[in-house]
């Protein structure tokens, strides 16, 4: 079992490394502006990439890997793998956006949207790299993007910091995203499509015997087909003691997805931060492979029990902070995740 003192030591080691410039970093950034990507490696091996091609309508981290190099995110539509589902083309790697911002759908936008409907969707475009710094067991990437209306004008400025950390079996990503309203009030009406999302590899989905159908906020229908369940082992566990599909539409401080890919036990954890709007967040966690935290869609997620309808006045900002843990070799238990959440809350 993993001793979660490692998490505290990891954070301390990261901070010390930034002050000890003589130490050689385990992390490397490889910037390729022509291909619109920044590759992040650990000990010379790929971990993830920050990619922002025009074809996916928002910047994402893609793919995510364990310490052994195992892919835990779906390959399709960028790099399809045999046996994967081919639904929801907007689910790519790990991303941050929302399904209703001043009436525009940023969540569901993709190249699959018909041209005559494009005026209903928003796009997030990468604008600049502000920082790439690596030191020992920690690295930081800071970027700026703009949430754009269909006519190309800017609605929101997004400043995001990614903090990457590495231990022997643990990889972590801290996401700190600041959204600033620009020339007008920005409304985020309650919507189930949000906000921090990860689309999982097939092996980490829940086994299911039935095809399912889902309708997005714009009324578009997607059918998720039944597939072979061989080697499909995923299961959600929430901080509130709920498991499996019961996690969807409930609040929690964290959710731990456990499963196995080949002979490798894996935990993928998303932790909410106490200072976030809507804490503890609602979970848009689907058995077919969508793992998402949605703090703003409270009415949609609670069946009307709660309501939020968040808004930002011109020039005002809001910051969201999440931690993603990818543990390889054993599946983290609730005590370990609670300790990690406590450490994250105190940072």
Q: Tens digits of per-residue pLDDT, 191-232? A: 999 999 999 999 999 998 777 665 665 667 777 777 778 899
The structure's pTM equals 0.90
The per-residue pLDDT string of the chain (347 residues; one tens digit each, 9 = 90 and over) reads 445 444 443 443 343 333 334 467 899 999 999 999 999 999 999 999 999 999 999 999 999 999 999 999 999 999 999 888 899 999 999 999 999 999 999 999 999 999 999 999 999 999 999 999 998 899 999 999 999 999 999 999 999 999 999 999 999 999 999 999 999 999 999 999 999 999 999 999 999 877 766 566 566 777 777 777 889 999 999 999 999 999 999 999 999 999 999 999 999 999 999 999 999 999 999 999 999 999 999 999 999 999 999 999 999 999 999 999 999 999 999 999 999 999 999 98
Q: For domain 5-346, which architecture applies?
A: Distorted Sandwich (2.70)
| Structure tokens given for 7 | 């998490």
Q: What is the mean pLDDT of the chain?
A: 91
Looking at residue 22, what is its pLDDT? 46
Where do the domains of the chain lie? 5-346
Looking at residue 17, what is its pLDDT? 36
């Amino acid at each position: 079992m993993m001793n979660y003192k490692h998490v505290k030591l990891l954070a301390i080691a990261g901070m010390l490394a930034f002050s000890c410039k003589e130490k050689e970093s385990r992390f490397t950034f490889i910037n390729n502006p022509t291909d619109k990507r920044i590759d992040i490696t650990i000990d010379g091996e790929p971990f993830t990439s920050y990619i922002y091609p025009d074809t996916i309508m928002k910047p994402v981290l893609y793919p995510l890997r364990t310490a052994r190099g195992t892919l835990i995110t779906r390959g399709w539509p960028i790099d399809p793998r045999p046996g994967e589902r081919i639904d929801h083309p907007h689910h790519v790697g790990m991303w941050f956006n929302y399904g209703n911002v001043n009436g525009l759908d940023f969540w569901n936008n993709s190249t699959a949207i018909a041209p005559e409907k494009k005026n209903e969707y928003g796009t997030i475009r990468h604008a600049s790299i502000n920082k790439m710094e690596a030191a020992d067991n920690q690295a930081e990437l800071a970027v700026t993007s703009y949430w754009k209306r269909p006519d190309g004008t800017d609605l929101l400025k997004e400043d995001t910091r990614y903090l990457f950390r590495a231990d022997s079996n643990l990889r972590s990503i801290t996401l700190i995203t600041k959204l600033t309203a620009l020339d007008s009030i920005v409304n985020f009406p309650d919507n189930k499509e949000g906000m921090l999302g990860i689309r999982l590899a097939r092996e980490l989905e829940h086994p299911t015997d039935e095809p399912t159908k889902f309708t997005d906020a714009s009324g578009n229908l997607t059918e998720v087909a039944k597939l072979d369940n061989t080697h499909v082992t995923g299961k959600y566990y929430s901080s509130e003691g709920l498991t499996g599909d019961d996690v969807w539409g409930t609040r929690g401080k964290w959710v731990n997805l456990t499963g196995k890919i080949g002979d490798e036990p894996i935990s993928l954890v998303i932790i909410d931060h106490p200072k976030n709007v809507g804490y503890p967040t609602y979970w848009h966690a689907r058995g077919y492979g969508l793992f998402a935290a949605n703090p703003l869609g409270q009415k949609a997620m609670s069946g009307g029990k709660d309501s939020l309808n968040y808004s930002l006045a011109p020039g005002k900002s809001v910051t969201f902070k999440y931690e993603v843990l990818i543990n390889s070799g054993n599946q983290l238990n609730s005590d370990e995740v609670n300790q990690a959440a406590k450490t994250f809350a105190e940072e």
